Chain A
Amino acid sequence: GAGVSQTPSNKVTEKGKYVELRCDPISGHTALYWYRQSLGQGPEFLIYFQGTGAADDSGLPNDRFFAVRPEGSVSTLKIQRTERGDSAVYLCASSPLGGSRESTGELFFGEGSRLTVL
């Protein structure tokens, strides 16, 4: 069965470079979430999509971070002018009815994309 797929699994880049991280959610899941997990910490919320629109982007740390989900399925997290502090595991999750009254609240996570900025 297909779970949440994230690519690349590992990305090493140099400070100042641009990075894209991709998330392919479980088919049919309308809600998609990005989290960031730094070493020794729990996942930290970045952004939540309901369909194509960003319903809550309050967790994006600054304007270097941007995410899109143009067709309501695959999402891309974009980081401009990367900094060493951006190094972390970026987690994507999806859920079938996020935000709806029928929502179970369960998020299905991918295995993450580990970003290292040198």
Chain B
Amino acid sequence: AQSVSQHNHHVILSEAASLELGCNYSYGGTVNLFWYVQYPGQHLQLLLKYFSGDPLVKGIKGFEAEFIKSKFSFNLRKPSVQWSDTAEYFCAVNDFGNEKLTFGTGTRLTIIP
């Protein structure tokens, strides 16, 4: 069964710092990859997704992620974080043709003004 690892459980950064959150998945077949974000007091929402094509995908609010198939990774990056990026970030994957999303345990990001 597919599994997702997010090694950073809690990340604390100052505003304007660069961000990279790690995500690795276990199954090597054709996959779809997602990052979801949950801001304090809000519901989960999609940040960005990869289905095929250019392995560097751009999402909302200046976030991007790079799919590296050989490393089974889909790391999330942002060059300069803002206080409003404080949230919990979840990486998720589903196998092609399978509607079941498997989520990682999440990374809590705290931005210090």
**A interface residues with partner B (beta carbon < 8 Å):** 3-4, 31, 33, 35, 40-45, 48, 50, 55-56, 58-59, 91, 93, 98-99, 104-112
B99:A91 contact, CB within 8 angstroms: no
A11 to chain B, nearest CB (A): 18
Q: Judging by beta carbons under 8 Å apart, are B104 and A55 in contact?
A: no
Number of A-B residue pairs at CB separation under 8 A: 60
Selected contact of A45 from candidates B44, B46, B102, CB within 8 Å = B102
Contact B99–A55 (Cβ < 8 Å): yes
Please determine whether B44 and A106 come into contact, CB atoms closer than 8 angstroms. no
Query: Which of B42, B46, B106 has a CB less than 8 Å from the CB of A42?
Result: B106
**Residue pair A111, B43 in contact (C-beta under 8 Å):** yes
In this complex, what residue of A is CB-closest to B94? A105
Other-chain contact of A48, B51, B90, B100, B105 (Cβ < 8 Å): B100
Q: Are A43 and B44 in contact (CB-based, < 8 A)?
A: yes
CA distance A26 to B53 in the complex (A): 30
How many whole Å from B1's CB to the nearest CB in chain A?
10
Which residue of B42, B44, B45, B51 contacts A105 across the interface (Cβ within 8 Å)? B51
In the complex, which residues of chain A have a beta carbon less than 8 angstroms from the beta carbon of B94?
105
